A = this chain, B = another copy of it.
Amino acid sequence: MKFIAENLTKLRTISPLVQNITNYVVMNSTANTLLALGASPVMAHAKEELEEMIAISSALVVNIGTLDEYWIPSMEKAVKIASDLKKPIILDPVGAGATKLRTNTALKLLDIGNVSVLRGNFGEISALLGEHGKTKGVDSAVYDNNEALNISKNASKEFNTVSTVTGPIDYVSNGKEIYSISNGHEMLSKVTGTGCASTSIIGAFLAVEEPLKASVSGLVTYGISAEMAFEESFYPGTFQAKLYDWLYRIDEKLILEKAKVNRIDI
């Protein structure tokens, strides 16, 4: 998977400005993730400045993790502006399925703009499909590799986007191809905002690659960094510090050695 290694080098060469409208919980860790990797984060949400900020950015990340009446219009405006400016957009529908507000907000954002990548876990993407009558909904969303693959494929077609379903195995689909990725480590589930971080990393790769391969590049890079971090620490606090270290240290050689990716035609 040479393109992943090459994309990492490209990303570090241009250090793309990635504009994030994300949740309060992960703003700090997301910014540190992007900086360690070699990108340039910016976080701006005031409606008045969105157009200028998106115009100078290479990609827009929208994450609905702590949405409210003020931030939702800001997310909507950002998605419209980025679509108009033809900037790539990645959407993280945090908690879709848990509340109607989250499900409906994510669906509206998918509807009003050209979202390049939709990145969520199994339950979240299932819930979005469920609202479209395509699954039995979040209550039936018991994880299963085969089901995750199907959901990735279906969400891609339904929402006309690259759909990235992360879990023990990650599935990324553009409706025609699917990549499965087995990198990563379960210790990531003991640190907050690691899903959100993977979304922002894909956002950074969108500056140098088309959405399907950008998603694969981001997930592999983050996953290998987590594997390396776990070799140095078995516990979540020091693991998190080492994770930033490895996002900074990871290089082409490590990616070529450790990437676990399969490509499937559908």
Contacts and interface: CB of A to CB of B under 8 A. Distances in A.
Count identical subunits in the complex.
3
A56 B138 CA distance: 13
Contacts of A66: 27, 43-45
A98 to B, nearest CB: 7
Contacts of A26: 28
A52 interface: yes
Contact of A101 (B31, B43, B49): B49
Contacts of A70: 68, 70
A242 B100 CA distance: 38
Interface residues of A, number: 54
Contacts of A193: 28, 31
B28 A46 contact: no
A242 B242 CA distance: 13
A162 to B, nearest CB: 27
Nearest to A20: B25
A99 interface: yes
- For the residues of A in contact with B, the DSSP-based class is helix
A209 interface: no
A261 interface: no
Given A25-B27, A95-B42, A193-B28, A49 B100 contact: yes
B45 A68 contact: yes
Interface string A20-62: 0001111111011001100001111111110011001000000
Contacts of A99: 44, 48-49, 52-53
A67 interface: yes
Contact of A35 (B42, B68, B236): B236
Nearest to A41: B192
A144 to B, nearest CB: 20
A155 interface: no
Given A49-B101, A241-B238, A190 B95 contact: no
Interface of A: 23-29, 31-32, 35-36, 41-49, 52-53, 56, 65-70, 95, 98-102, 189-193, 233, 235-238, 240-246, 248-249
Rank and list the top 4 A-B pairs by shortest CB-CB distance, nearest first.
A237-B244, A235-B245, A31-B192, A49-B99
